[in-house]
Structure 1
């Protein structure tokens, strides 16, 4: 497949990670509001995540890109594709995902980057299906998946295997989009 490209949208650059992204990414991952539905991460954990993102690009030709605002806003988060890292009835599967700094919420960046990632996944990476995953309470994430044309069958909902079954974040929803559905949009 060659080197994974940078992706450009009208307002965003989705690019490989740089050393100067490590500090703002750690700040993002330590923000309890941004990480409301995930565990916060310290600097070392954030650095390890970036290393895994880069390894994914090398192995699979896709991953979670660093997200930069083209208006000079610099690093604002991440978006892209990743292999689901746990075993569930629907795995193996590739997931579309994003995480943005709080000050960037509400600008449509997640939807814009998600569309670019889906298009890349279907047209360049040759994927047949891409999923989206969110805890039941994460309505912001669910709305973005719906705007991306993804659909949910409640029969696909699952308990996240990395969480205790009584954890309020354990119940998750699975959204799907096929290559054929994407092409029809």
Structure 2
């Protein structure tokens, strides 16, 4: 299991103590947390970072901290995690990401998630990876579609209250072949 991997602009690495303060700032940012049920306290952010990193020890994959290679700045996370058991539908792994607001709109989420998919299909030899988000989360859905993912099902998130605009979620999935095709198509447009 690699402890880190690189893309053209990013270092995907294990979490460091120095990541915790900027990660906590992300968790307190109402725009970053717009499509989540609530913002996170510092303790909640620290616990999430710990769980994200421990996945590497327990599962051989996890959620990498993202570092911008040109500056060394922590910009968020991406990686793989088990689909929670309380989510209806098939289990398996999901790819996810969260970036600090100042790094939105620059292609980092797609670049980082593509590296996570490369790991899933190459190292883990998976045939399919999923992604889950609120239906109203258009920015993440756009990333999913750039990754070659297609919508497979909508569902009511069991941990979000009835009446919340975040309750209706959507599951996307991508096969190894579709991800490779999307990556090749993206390379042709550069």
Q: Assess same fold via TM > 0.5.
A: yes
Alpha-carbon separation, structure 2, partners of 1:25 and 1:15: 14
Q: Tell me if structure 2 keeps the 8 A contact 1:158–1:172.
A: yes
With the length of structure 1 as denominator, give the TM-score of the two structures. 0.93
Structure 1 unaligned blocks of 5 or more: none
Q: In the alignment, is residue 163 of structure 1 matched against residue 160 of structure 2?
A: yes
Alignment correspondent of 2:178: 181
Alignment correspondent of 1:32: 30
Match of 1:5 among 3, 20, 44: 3
Equivalence map 1:60-139=2 (5 Å): 60-139=59-138
Alignment correspondent of 1:17: 15
Superimposed CA distance per residue, residues 81-105 of structure 1 (whole angstroms, 9 cap, x where no aligned partner): 1112242332322111111111100
Superimposed CA distance per residue, residues 107-166 of structure 1 (whole angstroms, 9 cap, x where no aligned partner): 00000001000010111012221111111111000000000000113xx11111111232
Alignment correspondent of 2:187: none
Alignment correspondent of 2:188: none
Instruction: Say how many residue pairs are matched.
Output: 181
Q: Tell me if structure 2 keeps the 8 A contact 1:66–1:78.
A: yes
What is the RMSD of the two structures over their aligned residues, measured on CA atoms?
A: 1.3
Q: Tell me if structure 2 keeps the 8 A contact 1:86–1:161.
A: no
Moved over 3 A (4+): none
Alpha-carbon separation, structure 1, partners of 2:131 and 2:116: 12
TM-aligned CA distance change 1:184 to 1:33, over 3 Å:
closer
Alignment correspondent of 1:51: 50
Superimposed CA distance per residue, residues 42-99 of structure 1 (whole angstroms, 9 cap, x where no aligned partner): 1110111111112111111111100000111410101111112242332322111111
